[in-house]
Amino acid sequence: MLKSINDVEKEILEILQYCVNCKFCTTVCPLYEEWLRESAFGKIFSIYYILKYDIPLEDTLRNIIWYCTTCGKCEYLCKDAGGGIKVVDIVENARRILLHKYHFKPIERHTEVLNDVLNYYNPYHVENVKRWDWLPFSLPSKGEYLYFVGCTAAFRMQNVAKATVEVLNRLNVNLAKFTREKCCGSVILRTGFIEEAIKIMEENYKNINSSGSKYLITSCAGCYRTLKKDYPKIVGDLDVEVLHSSELLEKLLNEGKLKLNTTALKGLKITYHDPCHLGRHAEVYDAPRSILSSIPGIEFVEMPNSRENSNCCGAGGGFRSGFTSKSLELALKRIYEAKETGADILVTCCPFCELNLKQVAKERNIDLKIMDLMELILQIV
Ligand code: SF4
Ligand code: SF4
């Protein structure tokens, strides 16, 4: 289960000795502009010295260690070219250590988000009983496929949640709503509040395991990564198979239950943005692409930075709440990348990416449709 802070601290110091200082991780970081400290190298270098020599430069260090979207692009590069340093794990664990052992004051917005997750069971300050208010029709609470809607789809991007249940309903999937759902804990885990996340994770764990379902379906890349990778490490193995909605669509396509034989989208050029927590974190690259490539009449185009090399939308790791304007700058860069392909539609598979990308597209009046894979599929099933 959860390792103690002292053990994690020792582990980090040991692992960081394998950093060969090649600095290959510097320029790939979406936040790197001028200073080494903005990049992965600057972060792990700072973490090493804070932990080893107990350096108390609070504000400056906070803006180094929390100035990271946890996108993992540095880690991907380090795996092939450097010392195989798990930068994201180190950053998240360093945040935990700095908050709990060195008593760093958290970023104010992160404290507010933490309090909302603990008190409202979602980061949006909304009563959790409203989590399923968006449902266009009733769903049972028992079924083979249990829908873990996630806070962003439930409270901010209901278009994604509605499209998901509509599509799965049309495909006769035995879908149930997870009535006792609480925030999966992702946002507070990523910002260093691991101890604080355990209670809600345990409650979800217990309720998922007693649901009798075989599959747990997520719309959100962050929920997916958390339920798939963090739950087994922190609270235990789930008795269900966690599937992202794109993986479920691919399964249905392979079983012949999803038939894409209409030409309703004919002539459209579509590109795809890999959410970091679905792509690099969980290696789900092919499922969305196999669906998009199966749509008759469309032209699917990749952005130059795609799959493992994809660029971040800027929303993850507590970055949107902690550094909002910079987060939107990253989203804008990603939108320009999509526009350069000549695409009419930018598809993604995460409501949180969609939220960030759409916000900046709207603010800048950019002519590009941005939608979830499920919203696109809804038009042709
Ligand atoms: S790429 Fe890896 S080994 Fe090279 S400096 Fe970055 S973290 Fe260290
Ligand atoms: S995880 Fe992403 S944002 Fe963080 S240091 Fe690595 S490349 Fe930069």
126 shares its domain with 189: yes
354 shares its domain with 228: no
129 shares its domain with 208: yes
Six-digit token string for 3: 């390792």
Low-confidence ranges of the chain (pLDDT < 70): 56-57
142 shares its domain with 228: yes
Q: Which of 216, 235, 253 is the last residue of a domain?
A: 253
88 shares its domain with 156: no
Range of the domain at 166: 109-253
265 shares its domain with 246: no
Note the pLDDT of residue 57: 63
Note the pLDDT of residue 83: 77
Note the pLDDT of residue 204: 98
Note the pLDDT of residue 208: 98
Question: CA 261, CA 280: separation in Å to the nearest integer?
Answer: 31
Note the pLDDT of residue 2: 86
236 shares its domain with 350: no
Helix (H/G/I), strand (E/B), else coil: 146: strand
Atom of ligand 1 nearest to the CA of 24: 1
Six-digit token string for 144: 């083979």
Ligand closest to the CA atom of residue 83: 1
Note the pLDDT of residue 207: 98
Q: What is the CATH number of the domain that holds 337?
A: 3.40.50.1860
Q: What is the pTM of this model?
A: 0.96
Q: How far is CA 49 from CA 32, 63, 64, 258, 264, in A?
A: 20, 15, 13, 54, 58
Note the pLDDT of residue 245: 98
Give per-residue pLDDT as tens, 49-62. 888 887 766 778 88
Atom of ligand 2 nearest to the CA of 73: 7
Question: CA 156, CA 359: separation in Å to the nearest integer?
Answer: 12
360 shares its domain with 267: yes
293 shares its domain with 208: no
Query: What is the distance in A from the centroid of ligand 1 to the CA of 76?
Result: 10
Note the pLDDT of residue 56: 66
Q: Which of 253, 269, 302 is the last residue of a domain?
A: 253
Q: Which of 100, 130, 161 is the last residue of a domain?
A: 100
Atom of ligand 2 nearest to the CA of 70: 1
Query: What is the distance in A from the centroid of ligand 2 to the CA of 75?
Result: 8
Q: How far is CA 319 from CA 31, 64, 120, 190, in A?
A: 11, 12, 21, 10
Six-digit token string for 277: 């927590």
Note the pLDDT of residue 36: 74
Query: What is the distance in A from the centroid of ligand 1 to the CA of 376?
Result: 39
Ligand closest to the CA atom of residue 318: 2
**CB distance 45 to ligand 1 below 6 Å:** no
**CB distance 22 to ligand 1 below 6 Å:** yes
Atom of ligand 2 nearest to the CA of 88: 1
204 shares its domain with 229: yes
Note the pLDDT of residue 263: 85
* Residue in 308, 314, 317, 275 with CA at minimum distance from that of residue 91: 317
> Terminus-to-terminus CA distance in the chain, angstroms?
43
273 shares its domain with 231: no
Q: What is the total count of domains within the chain?
A: 3
Name the residue of 19, 43, 73 whose CB sits within 8 Å of the most ligand 2 atoms, as the mutation to test its pocket: 73
219 shares its domain with 291: no
Q: Measured on CA atoms in the order 348, 279, 200, 8, is the torsion positive or negative?
A: negative
Would residue 182 be called left, alpha or beta, if left means φ above 0 and alpha means ψ between -120 and 50 degrees?
Answer: beta
Note the pLDDT of residue 294: 96
